[in-house]
Each structure stands twice: as structure tokens, then as C-alpha cells.
Amino acid sequence: MRQKLRNAELRLGLLVVLITTSGYLLVQLADKPKLPSDLWLFLGVVIALYGAAHFAVRRLAPNANPVLLPLAAFLNGIGFVVISRLDRDLARNQAAWTAAGVAAFIITLALVRRIRTLERYRYTFLFIGIIAVLLPLVPKLGKEINGARLWVGIGPLNFQPGEAAKVLLVIFFAAYLVDKRELLASGTRKFGRLILPDPKHLGPLLLVWGISILIMVRQKDLGSALLFFTVFSTMLYIATDRVSYLVIGGVLFIGGATIAYQLFDHVQTRVSTWIDPWPVADGKGFQIVQSMFAFGTGGLSGTGLGLGNPQQIPNAATDFVFSAVGEELGLIGAVAVLSAILLLVGSSFNIAIKTPRPFSKLFAGGLATILGVQSFIIIAGTTRVIPLTGITLPFVSYGGSSLVANFVILALLMRISDDTARAAAEQPSRTAHALPQ
Amino acid sequence: MPQLLSPLLADAVPEAVLTILKFGFLALVYLFLWQVVRVVMLELRPASVGGRSKNSPPVVKRTKNRAARIRIIEPSAHSGETFTVGQEITIGRGGACTVVIANDEFASTIHARIFPSNEDVLVEDLGSRNGTLVNGTAIQGIVALSHGDQVQFGQTVVEVIR
């Protein structure tokens, strides 16, 4: 059984290697009719990276879900091809970060042998997580890049501690909610069909709301603020099965968004360019208009890799990577990326559903929500479904901290699914035989 | 494929060739997604083997291979409550445990686990603050239990029934 799972993972991985390498080749062929000199090196690196991750899973989590790693590798590969087409320097960095991400993936699998070890250090994780959120605000250490103060620079290296914080805080939320869910689920006030929890149990929700507001106001990072708050509200809902938390969360969100709209110019700009970017197409609306041109140029099947002009979109490698995919691979390619994300998030939720342990369930649910909400925020932003809030598209966008954090999330999800499958297998086989039919 | 093309190539790859390659690439992407979906479907179908929760309660067949049970002796408020060691059970104050002893201030969040292994029932302390005692002696590592043993977590005492 476990052999079968891992062989499927290997087979899918070979396809990913083929896709990534031929994508890389196509970008070069669009430029000149010669095989790129580094094609074999590239192929070797892709095989080495996937092979390292795959054989680590064989050793460390042999019963884990077989599609998560190939899907992440696919998204990562497509992202890399598009980035290599936009900017060679960025591509070199991204390759290094991917290697760092795979290393983080293997280290996570090796260190976290049992998911419940994490449950025990909940307050340590909360502490480190809050420090990580606040770190960019420390004078001298924190840096402001592109108007958002969410970077920490040590020497030549810049990173976003908020990416690590989101994983750490989800561990804490999950452990906390498992303990308190009975209290939180018991309602005391009724308004019609809505049962409201006792106000004193609203503390954690308000705390997270406060943290989100702080991120938004002090670091001007709308995307992360939205992500934190949505993920926590969703986990609260998963833990308690009370719709009232979604309603309260929604009200708090609308309140926070209204305040942000009143206070900040850049929020007002985002909303006005969302409603109608055309009057300011050369100014503030330039980015979103270019994004729409990209999708329009791409049409059904795209211009072909290396044949469009996605470099005209500002931040095409990070926030707008999906638009670049839409231009060069068209609707068909964009839908493929979307499907891969859907399969990744869906499989992650399936891991949450399958595991019998409440902590693992909430933790996996939280991690799946991170991936899903983050993808939604940025894809919907670039396609003008919602106002734009900058955040990375998991595994696809350029960005070191984000890539490493996503690989850690991947490792944790695979650890949970391995735990579940192992627990089921450890059950003495006599029970399986004793079952009717 | 590139080798086949190279004699044809002048200073640029013909547009038609690039178009064919583009569709070939997209086809490859969808082949991958289709394969993923197939694996996911296979994963979902035998889920009945892995998703045992439905079957768990009646799994304890009252035949000769009777699963062991533990019965709470102290505190008296919960005295007589019985839990089946059909699969691993965890004891502690945390809500995630199988046996939640939230009011026992001397127990840890995840205090200990009791689990069957072949014909034995084993207990392991999971790094609790006050330790786990079997018949009054603190245990180290994993200890096998027999009928009538009394196991203490914090101030909670259970008796093993086999």
C-alpha cells in the first residue's frame, strides 16, 4: 500500500520534471532556435530537488498523501518558468529559494515526527509568532519595501517573518481551540436563530482582530491582515460548528475594512481602481489595467511561453504572476493552475477530514485554509473580482520567505496524513478481518 | 523532439512550430492534472479501509479477543466510567484526549497513553509533570498492564480490566 502511494508520487513527479523542463525550453526557443546551454544543468537540478523531497518522504513519511508534493512541485515549476521568462536574476534567486524550501521541507519532516509534539509547545509558538509579527516594526531591523513594512533585513538578506508567523499562530490556534471549543461552542444569548457565545469567550477572536488591525495599520500589509483574520475565523467555525462566529467575524471585518478605508489613501485607491481603473489607466490603475490586458491578450490558449509581454505588468513575478500565466498560457493554462491549487487545497481538507485527532484536524484545516484563502485573495485581486491586496500566490509567486513557509506547510500536512494512515495500519489486522463483508 | 527540429531552424523557430509546441505543453499539463485526479479518486475510494471511525465502536467483538478496558476508580465523581482500549487512548486535561480529566489539576495536558499491542495492553507516560504510577510506582518508558493493575495520572486512578 505505502509502496503504491510513493510510486504514484514518483510517477507524477516525473511528469512535473518533464513539464518544468519543457516549459523552460519553450521560453528559450521563443527567443532563438537553439537549445539553451544550461538545459541539462536545469534538468539535473529539477530532478535533484524533486528526488530529494520524494526520497525524504519515502524515508520519513511513507504513508503520506501522494498528490501534495507533485502538485506543489507543479505550481513551483510553472512559477519558475514564468519568472525565468520575466527576469533571469530573479529566477536565479528563486532557484536558490526553492532549494532552501526543499531543505526546509525535509528538515520539518525529520524534526516533527509526531504532530502532537507541536501541541505541547503551543504557548512557545504563540510567543515566537507574535514576536515574528512585530519584528518588522523594530527600528533599524525592519525595512519598508514597496510601501509595506513587513521585512526584516539582516546583512544582505531580507525576509518576511510574517510568513513564519502564520504557521506558528495556526499551531497555537489549533491547540487552543481544541481545549476551549466546548466553552466557545456553548451559547448563552439567542437572537432569533443565532446563538451568540458568552462575551468573555470572544477574547481570542478580538485578540486576533487586534493583531490584524495592527498589521494593517503599522505595516500597511492588507493581504496578511485579511489572511490572519479569515484563517482564524474559519478555524473557530471548524472547531465550534457555530455560524455565529462567521457572522461576528464578518461584522468585525467590515468594521476594520471601513476604518482602513477612512484612514488610508492606499486603501481608497485600491477600491476606486477596482470599481473603475480606466480613468487612471496610466497612473494608479496602471497595474490592474495591464493585468487585464494580459488576460485579454492571452485569450484561450495564450501567446505561448516567452512570446507575450507580461513584463509590462508591474510586479509580474510576485503579486501578478497569475496574470503572466494568463497571458502566455491563456485561459487553458490559467485554469490548469487554478485546478492544481484546487486539488492541493481539496486534498489538504481531505487530510483534515480523515484524521481522527481533533488537534490534527484543526491544524490541517487551518493550513488548508491558509493556502486556499491566500490563493483566492491574490487571484481574485488580479482578475478584479475583489479589490487588489498584495500577497503571494502559494508556490507560484517569486518570494523566498513565502516559498520556504509554504514548503513547511506542505511538510506538516504530509506529516498529518502519514500519522493518520500509520495509526490506521497499526491497528491489529484482526479487526480488519473481523469486519463484516 | 528538439533534435528533430534543429535542421529546420534558421534564425527563429517558425511560428507554426511554436504553436504546436505550445499546445503540446498544455496537453502535457493536463495529462499531469488528469493523473493527479486519478490518484485522488483511488485515494478516496479505499477510504473505507482507512476511515475506520464508522466501524470503530462495534469493532470490539465480544469473542475471545476481548479488548481491554479501563475503569475510573477515583475521583469518585467519575467512578465506574469505563473506556475500551480498542485502539490507542490518551489521558489528560486537554480536550484532544480520549479521556479528558479536565478537573484534575495534577494531571498534564496530554498525560499518558494506553494502547493495545498484539495481546498486551501498554501504558506510556507522555512526559507529564507528575508522572504516571502503576500500582503506586512511577513508570519509566512503556509498561505492560495486567488485569487489576491500578494506574494513576495526577489524582485520577483507573483500574485495568482484561
Q: Is residue A135 part of a domain?
A: yes
Give the residue from B1, B20, B25 with the most A CB atoms within 10 Å of its CB, the best one to mutate: B25
Average pLDDT over residues A254-275: 87
Q: Name the residue among B33, B42, B96 with its Cβ closest to that of A359.
A: B96
pLDDT higher than 80, residue B156: yes
Taking only the tens place, the pLDDT of each residue in A302-361 is: 999 999 999 999 989 989 999 999 999 999 999 999 999 999 999 999 999 999 888 999
Q: What angle, 0 to 180 degrees and rounded to 10, lies between the N-to-C axes of helices A358-382 and A222-240?
A: 140
Distance from CA of B122 to the nearest CA of A (A): 14
Chain B residue with CA closest to A7: the answer is B39
Task: Assign A248 a pLDDT band (cuts: 50, 70, 90).
Answer: confident
| DSSP conformation class of A343 | H
User: Contact at 8 Å (CB) between A32 and B35?
Assistant: no
* Identity of the residue in A16, A180, A181 whose CB atom sits nearest the CB atom of B32: A16
Nearest chain B Cα to A352, which residue? B51
**Range from A4-18, A145-159, A177-191, B43-57 carrying the lowest mean pLDDT:** B43-57
Count: domains in chain A? 1
Asked if B35 and A65 come within 8 Å (Cβ–Cβ), the reply is no
Q: Do A32 and B12 touch (CB under 8 A)?
A: yes
Q: Is residue A437 part of a domain?
A: no
Instruction: Give the three-class secondary structure for A390.
Output: coil
Q: How far does the CA of residue A189 sit from the closest CA of chain B (Å)?
A: 24
Range of the domain at A291: 2-430
Angstrom CA distances, A416 to A53, A112, A351, A420, B98, stand at: 17, 10, 7, 6, 18
Contacts of B87 in chain A (CB under 8 A): 423, 427
- Which range, of A25-34, A247-256, B54-63, B92-101, averages the lowest pLDDT? B54-63
Contact call for B50 and A71, based on CB within 8 A: no
CB contact under 8 A, B43 and A66: yes
Mean of per-residue pLDDT scores for chain A: 88
Report the chain B residue with the minimal C-alpha distance to residue A332: B26
CB contact under 8 A, A178 and B94: yes
Residue A30 to residue B50, Cβ atoms within 8 A: no
Domain assignment present for A284: yes
**CB-CB neighbors (< 8 A) of A71 in chain B:** 36
Nearest-neighbour CA in chain A from B119: distance (Å): 10
Q: Is residue A182 in some structural domain? A: yes
Q: How many CB pairs under 8 A join A and B?
A: 136
* pLDDT at A25 > cutoff 60: yes
Distance, CA of A142 to CA of A121 (rounded, Å): 27
Query: Is residue A435 scored above 60 in pLDDT?
Result: no
Whether residues A65 and B29 touch (CB distance < 8 A) is answered with: no
Q: What is the pLDDT of residue B87?
A: 80
| Residue A228 or residue A153, greater confidence | A228
The pLDDT score that the predictor gives to residue A187 is 62
Give Cα separations from A132 to A127, A210, B150 (angstroms).
9, 16, 46
| pLDDT tens, residue by residue, A58-75 | 999 999 999 999 999 999
> How close B50 comes to chain A (CA, Å)?
6
Assigned domain for A436 exists: no
Grid cell digits, residue A81:
518558468
Q: Is residue A394 part of a domain?
A: yes
Residue B61 has pLDDT above 70, yes or no: no
CB A417 within 8 A of CB A64: yes
> What ipTM does the predicted assembly reach?
0.89
Task: Please determine, for residue B59, whether its predicted confidence score (pLDDT) is greater than 70.
Answer: no
Nearest C-alpha neighbor of A328 from the set A342, A315, A316 = A316
Nearest alpha carbon to residue A427 among B53, B37, B15: B53
Structure confidence at residue A145 (pLDDT): 74
A contacts of B113 (beta carbons < 8 Å): none
Residues in chain B with CB shorter than 8 Å from the CB of A16 are 32
Question: What are A377-429's pLDDT values in tens digits?
Answer: 999 999 999 998 888 999 999 988 999 999 999 999 999 999 998 887 776 54
CA distance A73 to chain B (A): 12
Residue A58 lies in a domain: yes
CA distance A279 to chain B (A): 36
Confidence of residue A433 (pLDDT cuts 50, 70, 90): very low
CB B38 within 8 A of CB A418: no
Q: Across the interface, do A119 and B6 touch by the CB < 8 Å criterion?
A: no
Strand (E) positions, chain B? 69-74, 82-84, 89-92, 99-100, 112-117, 120-125, 132-134, 137-138, 142-145, 150-153, 156-161
Which residues of B are less than 8 Å from A33 in CB distance?
Answer: 5-6, 9-13
Average pLDDT over residues B78-100: 82
Average pLDDT of the residues in A103-129:
92
pTM reported for the whole predicted model:
0.77
The alpha carbon of residue A174 is apart from the nearest alpha carbon of chain B, in Å, by 10
Contact A347, B40 (CB under 8 A): yes
- Helix, strand or coil, per DSSP, at residue A194: strand
At A145, give phi and psi (nearest 5°).
-125, 130
Pick the more confident residue, A184 or A25: A25
Give the residue from A88, A177, A145 showing the smallest Cα distance to A361.
A177
Beta bridge partners of A226: none
Residues A35-50 have a mean pLDDT of 92
The reply to whether A435 falls in a domain is no
Q: What is the pLDDT of residue A167?
A: 92
* A326 vs A299: CA distance, rounded Å: 8
- Closest by Cβ to B29, choosing from A35, A178, A333: A333
Query: How much is the pLDDT for B46?
Result: 53
Distance from CA of A212 to the nearest CA of B (A): 27
Nearest-by-Cβ selection for A120 from B32, B42, B109:
B109
User: What span, in angstroms and rounded, lies between the C-alpha atoms of A371 and A377?
Assistant: 10
Which chain B positions have a beta carbon within 8 Å of A15's beta carbon? 28, 31-32, 35
Among the listed residues A356, A353, A360, the one whose alpha carbon sits nearest the alpha carbon of residue A171: A360
Question: Do B9 and A34 lie within an 8 Å CB cutoff?
Answer: yes
The reply to whether residue A120 touches residue B52, judged by beta carbons under 8 angstroms, is no
pLDDT for position B66:
64
Cβ distance B49 to A432 less than 8 Å, yes or no, reads yes
Helix (H) or strand (E) holding A372: helix A358-382
Q: Is the pLDDT of residue A436 over 60?
A: no
Distance set, CA A163 to CA A106, A108, A112, A135, A210 (Å): 18, 15, 19, 12, 18
Burial class of residue A360 (count of CB atoms within 10 Å of its CB; 0-12, 13-18, 19+): buried
| H-run or E-run covering A236 | helix A222-240
Nearest CA in chain A to B33: A340
